């Protein structure tokens, strides 16, 4: 089974269908891959300025909105100066 169990209590990056990127600590999940994140922030990417982090706190994401869940290497993630990153936002999913 491609389970999410290994991600609980780990810092993760969620990519959503609309292209949003959200980081947070996975507090829990269920059978439909609905996910609860604690201490979460949206990372807003643009070519004009560095990455903006918008605090979201405790956040529930519906499973059908999720594209991808990635486990963050916290050391690598903290070493990145987000203010220097310029990138297009991730495109939304189109079926």
Partner 1 sequence: MLIFSVFKTLTDQQVTVELKNDLSITGVLKSVDQFLNIRLDNIKVLDEARHPHMMAVKNCFIRGSVVRYVQLPPESVDTQLLEDATRRESAAQTKR
Enumerate binding residues for partner 1 (CB under 8 A): 1-4, 7, 13, 15, 17, 19, 21, 33, 43, 45, 63-64, 66-74, 76-77, 80, 85, 87-88, 90-95
Query: How far apart are CB 39 and partner 1 at their closest, in Å?
Result: 16
Question: What are the residues whose beta carbons fall under 8 Å from the beta carbon of 13, sequence distance 6 or more?
Answer: 21, 22, 23, 68, 69, 70, 72
48: helix, strand or coil: coil
CA 22 vs CA 1, 31, 61: distances in Å: 24, 21, 10
Q: Which is nearer to partner 1, 58 or 71 (CB)?
A: 71
Q: Which is nearer to partner 1, 20 or 59 (CB)?
A: 20
Query: How far apart are CB 76 and partner 1 at their closest, in Å?
Result: 4
Question: What are the residues whose beta carbons fall under 8 Å from the beta carbon of 65, sequence distance 6 or more?
Answer: 16, 17, 18
Query: How far apart are CB 69 and partner 1 at their closest, in Å?
Result: 4
């Amino acid at each position: 089974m491609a389970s999410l169990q290994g991600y609980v209590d780990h810092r993760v990056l969620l990519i959503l269908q609309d292209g949003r990127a959200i980081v947070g600590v996975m507090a829990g999940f269920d059978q439909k891959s609905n996910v609860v994140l604690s201490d979460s922030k949206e990372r807003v990417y643009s070519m004009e300025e560095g990455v903006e982090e918008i605090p979201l706190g405790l956040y529930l994401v519906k499973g059908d909105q999720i594209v991808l869940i990635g486990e963050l290497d916290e050391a690598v993630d903290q070493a990145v100066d987000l203010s220097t990153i310029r990138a297009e936002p991730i495109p939304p999913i189109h079926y």
